[in-house]
Amino acid sequence: MPIALSKDDTARAIASIRRYFAEEIDQELGELPARLLLNFILTEIGPSVYNAAIADAQGFLRDRVADLEGACYAPEFQYWPQKPVRERPR
């Protein structure tokens, strides 16, 4: 499953990559190399991040579903007090 970013997110990611190179590596990076690097990261590393996020979400949901009965259980037939039923005289 390819990971795709919106046009706006792609532009922001490219700007972030270019800024990172300028500030951290002290090297100017053009838009094309930054776009190629972004595509590489999304293709090569993105699936690992995506799969980890899915595994985290599955674990979270599994924990919530396991506790569903405890969290959502409502006792039934609680209107009448729990007293022993006396037999009526005949």
If you average pLDDT over residues 8-18, what whole number do you get?
98
| pLDDT for 7 | 97
pLDDT in tens, 51-87: 999 999 999 999 888 887 777 888 888 888 776 667 7
| pLDDT for 84 | 67
pLDDT in tens, 29-55: 999 999 999 999 999 999 999 999 999
N-term to C-term CA, the chain: 77
Residue 26's pLDDT band (cuts 50, 70, 90): very high
Identify residue 55 by its one-letter amino acid code. Answer: A
**11-21 residues labelled b (16+ CB within 10 A) or e (exposed):** eebbeebbeeb
